[in-house]
Amino acid sequence: GSIYLELWGFKRSQLKEDKENTKRIMMFIADDLQKRLDFIEEIHEYKDFKPLFTDMWDAIILAGKHALLPFELFQSLQRTYSWMKYYNSELDSGKPADEKLLVDLLDDVRKSIYSSLTKLNANNSNKDYADNIQKSNIRRSNPVHFNGFPL
């Protein structure tokens, strides 16, 4: 009886920890994707093509924390960061940069980011998390909304 109770308590605490980690990961990813959107706007504004960093996603994958995310969300995020890496590879290919190709790729990256943010919205129904997003003092000229609140 006591072993069962101890195991039940451990599983319960593990589930709570996983839930908190998932919320944090979603918050980090949403913030990272918004920063990528801001960076893409700067690239378009100044026509200064620079690589998009994917270090946040790489860290999540290397730590094995992607397994905490719902599968459809993981797929969407993987596609989004793959588009970023594809843009980076075209940028670093050593060939003269084809501006039209890079602009088209950035548009694909942007569309993919919006799709992933929409999926993040759909997968996150936690009111406390939405309140934290709302209270954040991140100000952007073209904010993306997450759970009805601007990021």
Q: What is the pTM of this model?
A: 0.77
Given this model, what pLDDT does residue 148 score?
53
Burial track 63-88 (b if 16+ CB lie within 10 A, e otherwise): eebeebbeeebbebbeebbebbbebb
Q: What is the DSSP letter of 64?
A: T
What is the number of other CB atoms lying within 10 angstroms of the CB of residue 100? 8
Amino acid at 144: V
The two most distant CA atoms of the chain are separated, in Å, by: 70
Are the C-beta atoms of 65 and 25 separated by less than 8 Å?
yes
Given this model, what pLDDT does residue 125 score?
58
Given this model, what pLDDT does residue 92 score?
92
Are the C-beta atoms of 52 and 80 separated by less than 8 Å?
no
- How confident is the prediction along the chain (151 residues), in pLDDT tens digits per residue? 788 889 999 999 999 999 999 999 999 999 999 999 999 999 999 999 999 999 999 999 999 999 999 999 999 999 999 999 999 999 998 888 789 999 999 999 999 999 999 999 988 754 444 444 433 333 344 445 455 545 4
Dist. CA 31–CA 137, nearest whole Å: 12
